[in-house]
Structure 1
Amino acid sequence: MQSTETAAQAGRWIGRGEALARLGVKAQTLYAYVSRGRIAARPDPDDPRRSLYAVSDIVRLSGEEPPAGDIGQWLPPPEESDAPDIEIRSSVSTSDGRRLFYRGMDAVQLAETATLEDVARRMWDARAGNPFAEVRPRVGATPGHSARGRLFSALARRAEEAAELKLRSPESLRIECARVLDEAVDAVAGPGPRLFLHQRLARAWKVREPDAHLVRRALVLAADNGLDAPALAARAAAAGGASLAGAAFAGLATVAGTGTLIDLAKASDWVVAVRRQAVDAARRAHEAGALSGFGDPAWPGGDPRAAALLAVADLPQDLARALREGEELTGRRPAFALALVAVARRLELPRDAAADLLLIGRLAGLLAHALDQITNGSPIRARLRYVGPEPGAN
C-alpha cells in the first residue's frame, strides 16, 4: 500500500521531508516561502496536523524539470486567511446553456417589448423608482472623430468628474448609472429630442420608424453576456474603488480588447463581400478557412440572442440566403456578432454601427456589474504571486 506522502506525490503534492530535500533548505525557509505565497500548501487529508506542498512550486523554485503531467497549479482553499477569493457573486445575469437571463428574466423575452432603459432598470435593481427621471441633457459636444472615440471620451470625462464623489446610497448610484448611459448615447447620437435611447440612435442613423425596433432589440440583447472578462474587469475596478463610469470604462475597454470587435469587423467584411458576389463568396471564404461569424463555443446549440434578432430582421433575400449558405457550409449557426452585423447592413447603418450597438448595450450591463459589486459584491481578494528574478539578481 502506498504511503500518504507517496500517494500525494503521485498527484501534485509532497510532504515536508521531500520538499526540504528537493529545495535544499531548512524548515524555516520552507515556511517563509509558504507565508509569502511562493509555495502553495494545504493540510494532509490523512493527517490534518501535517501539511502538503505543491510540486509545481517546488519545481519552479528548485529549477528542476517538471515530471510529465505534473505541471498543474492549485489554489488554496478559501477558508485559509491569505487565500484569494476565487468565487465572485453576481446577481446581474446567468445562463443555463440555452438561454440568457437578466436578473431571472429571459433576455430574448425582454427584447420583445423592453427598451434599454427598462432592461437597465432591471439589471440595476431599480424597482422603487426611475433613475432616468433625474437625468438632464449635458450641454456641450463630446470630442472624438468617431462614434466609438466619443463614447470612450464621454466615459473618461464622467470617470474623472466622479472620482471624488462619495455616492454610496443605492439610489444615488443608480442615478449616476443613468447619467453615464445617457451621456454615452448622446456622445454617439449627438444632441436632440429626449427620446428613448434606441430612438435617439435610430434618429441619428436615419432609421425608418417602423425599423427602430431592431435597434431596440439589438441593444437589449447586447446588454450582458454573463460573467465574462469585461464583467470581471468592471467588477475588479469597482472593488478597487473606481467610480461607476471608471469601472464600466474598464469593462468596455476589455470588450474592445478581447477580440469581439475584431470578430465584428471580420463578419462585416464577409457580409459586404457576400452581398456583392452572392453566395459564391461564402464558399470561397469557407474553403480558405476565413468564413467568420458562425458558431460560438459559449453556445453549443446556437446563441439564442442571434436567433431572436435574425428572426425579426426581415433580411433582404441575398443576405438571408448567404446566412443560410454559411450555416450549411460550417454546420454552425450565426453568432450574435454576425446577427448584429446583418441587422446593421439591413438598416444601412454606418460601417461601425454594429460595434457601437454592442458597446452601448454592454455599457448598461457593465454598469450593472459595477453597481452590483459596490452594493452587494463579495470582496475580490486576488493575490499576485511574484515569479520573476530574485531582488538584486543580475
Structure 2
Amino acid sequence: MDWIDAATAADRLGVKPATLYAYVSRGVLKRRHDGRRSMFDAAEIEQLARRGRPRGQPPELVIESSVTALGLDRPYYRGHDALTLARTHPFESVAELLWTGSPGMWPADPSASQGGRDTTRHEAADPGGRGLSRREEADRGRAARAAEVDRGGASRGVEPGGWAGEVGALRAAVAAQRGLPAELLPLDRLQVIVTVLGASDSLRHQLDPVSVAATGRRLISGLVDALPLVGAESATGSIAERLWPRLTGREPTPALVDALRAAMVLLADHELAASTLAARVAASAKADPYAVVLTGLGVLGGPLHGGASYGAERMLAEITDPGLAPRVIGERVRRGERIPGFGHSVYNNGDARGAALLDLVESAAPGHDRVAAARAVLSETRRRRLPEHNIDMALATLAAVAGMVSGAGEAVFAIARTAGWLAHAMEEYSKGTLLRLRASYTGPPPIHAT
C-alpha cells in the first residue's frame, strides 16, 4: 500500500487541505499518522478523485485556520500536542500560544516533572520564585499585590497587560448577580458576567490582535474572579488556583489544582466545534470580543457540546457505589438515551484528552470512591461495546472528586474555551469578510406575483 502526504492528496483531489480533513471527519477518507504528519492511502485518494465529490453529502463549509488541527485522538494547538502542553504548561501560557503563536511570559519548567506526572508551577504559583528572572519576580510581586480580591470578588488593583480584571467592571459583575437565584448554574452566571464586563470595557471595540489578547486576559480573569466564592479566598495565583474556590469549598491540593489546570489546557480549543463556529460567525460580522464569547457560551451549554459534562456529573452522582454502574448504564440504554461523556463525533477510537485527564485525577486522588465509580462506568460501557469515554466524563469525575458545585464542569469548559474562541475571532477580524452560509431550500416553490 502506498501512502502520500496531505499536500499531495489535496492537490490530487483539487481541494484545500481543510476540505481533505473534513472528508476524514465524515468518514469519507481514512488516514494514519507518520510522526506528526497525516498520511493517506494513495489508491483511496485516486478512487475518490475519479468519483468526484462524495454523493449524498452536503457541501462543506471550509474555513482556513492556523489555530488548531485535529489529530487521530487529540488536538494540536499551533502545531503543539495539547496533551504535552497539558503536562508541561499553565493555562495562561497556552492561551498566549493560541492568541500569539508564542507561550509568552509563562514558561514551563520541564525539570519539575516527577515520576512521569507534571508538577510544573509557573511564576504566580511558585512562592519561592524558583526559576524566575529578576524581572519576572518583580512582575509576580506586582501581580500578587494587584490581584488582591475583595470578598465580593472585585480586584483592588490592576496590572496593565496582566491577568487581572478591571476593578470597576469586576464590582459591577458581582453586583449584577446579587438578585440571581443561589442555585443558578455557573454557566448561567458566566453569561451575566460577560455582559457586564463588556458593557464596562471602553476598549472592547479595539479589534487588533494585541488589543484582543489584552481583552482576553481581562475577560478570563473577570470570568473567574466575579464568580461567587464557595471556598476560602485565593487572592493571588494562576487562573486555575483562583478558579478552585469559586467551584468548591474543599481545601485545594496541589495535585487536584494541577488536574484542573490540565483540564483547562485540554479544553482551550477544539478546531471548529459548534460553539467555535458560532463565535467565528459573530467575529466575522465584527462583533466585539465580549459578544463573540457570549455567542460561544450560548451554544456551549447544549447537551451535545459542553453541557455533556453536566449530564455526566448527574449520572455519576447516581452511582453511589461502583456496583450500581451496570444498572445506571443499563437503564439509560433501555430508555434509548445517550450516555453522557461517551462517544465523540471526531475521535472514533477514543478521546486521548479524556484518558489523560482521568489518569491525572486518579493519580491526584488514589482510591477515591468517585474515581472508582467512574472506572466502573467505563468497565460497563466497554462490556456493552459502547463508544469510549471522552473529556466530558473525565471532567465530571474531576468535579466529583473535588466536591465542586453542580455544573462546575461546564464552567471550566467555558472559561477555558474562551481562549480558543478569541483566537478564532482574531482570524476573522483579520479577514474582513462576513461568513455567510447558504441554505438548500426544500420548501414549497416561491409564488411570484403576477
Question: Could you say whether these structures have the same fold, taking a TM-score greater than 0.5 normalized by the shorter chain as the test?
Answer: yes
**Aligned-partner Cα distance in 2 for 1:73–1:329:** 33
1:124, CA displacement in angstroms? 0.6
After superposition, what is the alpha-carbon deviation per residue over 1:195-249, rounded to whole angstroms, capped at 9, x for unaligned? 2110011133234222211111111111112112211111110110200111121
**Aligned-partner Cα distance in 2 for 1:324–1:94:** 31
Which AA in structure 1 matches 2:76?
Answer: F
Given candidates 225, 234, 242, the residue that maps to 1:186 is 225
Which AA in structure 2 matches 1:324?
Answer: S
**Aligned-partner Cα distance in 2 for 1:160–1:384:** 34
1:324 aligned onto 2:388: no
**Aligned-partner Cα distance in 2 for 1:163–1:249:** 17
1:111, CA displacement in angstroms? 0.7
Given candidates 397, 401, 408, the residue that maps to 1:353 is 408
Q: 1:379 to 1:148 in 2, by over 3 A?
A: closer
Given candidates 299, 302, 305, the residue that maps to 2:350 is 302
Given candidates 59, 69, 72, the residue that maps to 1:94 is 69
1:199 aligned onto 2:241: yes
1:103 aligned onto 2:78: yes
- Number of aligned residue pairs: 316
Alpha-carbon contact 1:222-1:362 (below 8 Å) kept: yes
Q: 1:286 to 1:192 in 2, by over 3 A?
A: closer
**Aligned-partner Cα distance in 1 for 2:59–2:400:** 48
**Aligned-partner Cα distance in 1 for 2:277–2:195:** 19
Alpha-carbon contact 2:300-2:307 (below 8 Å) kept: no
**Aligned-partner Cα distance in 2 for 1:128–1:324:** 38
Given candidates 387, 394, 399, the residue that maps to 1:339 is 394
Q: 1:344 to 1:388 in 2, by over 3 A?
A: same
Match of 2:162? 133
1:151, CA displacement in angstroms? 0.8
Match of 1:13? none
Match of 2:331? 285
Alpha-carbon contact 1:148-1:188 (below 8 Å) kept: no
Map residues 122-161 of structure 1 onto 2, 5 A cutoff.
Answer: 122-125=97-100, 127=102, 132-133=161-162, 135-139=164-168, 140=171, 141=174, 142-143=176-177, 144-145=180-181, 146=184, 147-161=186-200
Q: 1:389 to 1:154 in 2, by over 3 A?
A: farther
Deviates more, 1:328-337 or 1:303-312: 328-337
Alpha-carbon contact 2:165-2:222 (below 8 Å) kept: no
Alpha-carbon contact 1:214-1:313 (below 8 Å) kept: yes
SS of the equivalent of 1:231 reads helix
**Aligned-partner Cα distance in 1 for 2:291–2:340:** 32
**Aligned-partner Cα distance in 2 for 1:283–1:192:** 38
Match of 2:253? 209
Which AA in structure 2 matches 1:115?
Answer: P
Which AA in structure 2 matches 1:133?
Answer: G
Alpha-carbon contact 1:245-1:367 (below 8 Å) kept: no
**Aligned-partner Cα distance in 2 for 1:348–1:300:** 31
After superposition, what is the alpha-carbon deviation per residue over 1:75-132, rounded to whole angstroms, capped at 9, x for unaligned? 9xxxxxxxxxx43221211112222111111111111132221111011116496685
Q: 1:266 to 1:285 in 2, by over 3 A?
A: farther
**Aligned-partner Cα distance in 2 for 1:323–1:168:** 45
Q: 1:148 to 1:283 in 2, by over 3 A?
A: closer
Alpha-carbon contact 1:274-1:281 (below 8 Å) kept: no
Map residues 30-49 of structure 1 onto 2, 5 A cutoff.
Answer: none
Deviates more, 1:87-96 or 1:234-243: 87-96
Q: 1:119 to 1:73 in 2, by over 3 A?
A: closer
Alpha-carbon contact 1:264-1:341 (below 8 Å) kept: yes
SS of the equivalent of 1:124 reads helix
SS of the equivalent of 1:313 reads helix
Given candidates 317, 339, 342, the residue that maps to 1:272 is 317
Given candidates 238, 255, 266, the residue that maps to 2:283 is 238
**Aligned-partner Cα distance in 1 for 2:73–2:57:** 31
Alpha-carbon contact 2:163-2:221 (below 8 Å) kept: no
* RMSD value, Cα: 3.2
Alpha-carbon contact 2:399-2:409 (below 8 Å) kept: yes
Unaligned runs of 5+ in 1: 1-69, 76-85
Deviates more, 1:232-241 or 1:276-285: 276-285
Alpha-carbon contact 1:163-1:243 (below 8 Å) kept: no
Deviates more, 1:147-156 or 1:230-239: 147-156
1:304, CA displacement in angstroms? 0.8
Unaligned runs of 5+ in 2: 1-54, 106-159
Alpha-carbon contact 1:218-1:309 (below 8 Å) kept: yes
Which AA in structure 1 matches 2:407?
Answer: D
* TM-score after normalising by structure 2: 0.62
Given candidates 194, 198, 211, the residue that maps to 1:172 is 211
1:297, CA displacement in angstroms? 2.9
SS of the equivalent of 2:188 reads helix
Alpha-carbon contact 2:191-2:294 (below 8 Å) kept: yes
Q: 1:275 to 1:370 in 2, by over 3 A?
A: same
Q: Which has the higher contact order (CA 8 A, sep 6+)?
A: 1
SS of the equivalent of 1:200 reads helix
